Amino acid sequence: MTGRAARTAMAVVMALTVAGCGAGDDRASDGAADGRVTGAVTVFAAASLTESFRRIGKDFEAANPGSTVTLNVAGSSALANQISQGAPADVFASAAPANMATVTESGNADGTPTTFARNQLVIAVPRGNPQAVTGLADLSRPGVKVALCAGQVPCGAAARTALEAAGVALTPVTLEQDVKGALAKLKLGEVDAALVYRTDVRAASAEVTGVEFPESARAVNDYPIVALKDAPNPAGARAFVAYVHSAPAQAVLAEAGFQAP
């Protein structure tokens, strides 16, 4: 590992944002040798997976006593870059194949990524829909402030595809680095609408409402997952990937609004 990569890895470890499906870090207890899965499993996951992977992580821990799952959630492009620069992680779950390709093409994947879910955009508006937004064209009306994801992250790429399909041109007041950032701008009242995933609206349904639009069908995102080549806990990495494809985990994802792969 280069000096730069080492510094990046240290920064990522210090910045792990959501930890904590379990407590403690017990990598030394990786029990792969006796067939059990124990120890810490660090999962880098797209921000749109936050709520679902928190629950799946807890379920994984319950199914594998002695294991702990730590989540690092952010935009898929940022996570892919961190992994490529040497950040210590066991699993990568991306919101789009393009960002997964950054990891596979740099030789950091252990095997071939597999698609475990799909997701679709909606227009998030405040409850009551005060701007009476019914479709993408309404977002280009004068005075309507819109938050989008930046183009390099999956929700931004999907939004661009949907807007092009609708023939709508708009200038957002903000471009966020992940979908949770765009939704936060709406919840704070800084914008009138945000293009986010259906799952994000469902998770924040107490505060926002989702407006479906037909062009979103042209921009459905596949979510791939893979164990990482230099995973500190390779047995845990492979077990977590398998668990995400299991019926219990798929039920969690479906309840959150994800589509089956």
Annotated binding site for molybdate: 48, 76, 179, 197
The Cα–Cα gap between 82 and 84 comes to 5
Binding positions: 48, 76, 179, 197
Q: DSSP letter for 220, please.
A: P
Residues 6 or more apart whose CB falls under 8 angstroms from that of 246 comprise: none
Contact between residue 221 and residue 95 where contact means Cβ atoms under 8 Å apart: yes
Q: Which two tokens stand for residue 176?
A: 């966020």
| Rounded Cα gap, residues 144 and 129, in angstroms | 12
**How far, in Å, CA of 87 to CA of 10, rounded?**
8
Q: Which of left, alpha, beta for 128 (phi over 0: left; psi -120 to 50: alpha)?
A: left
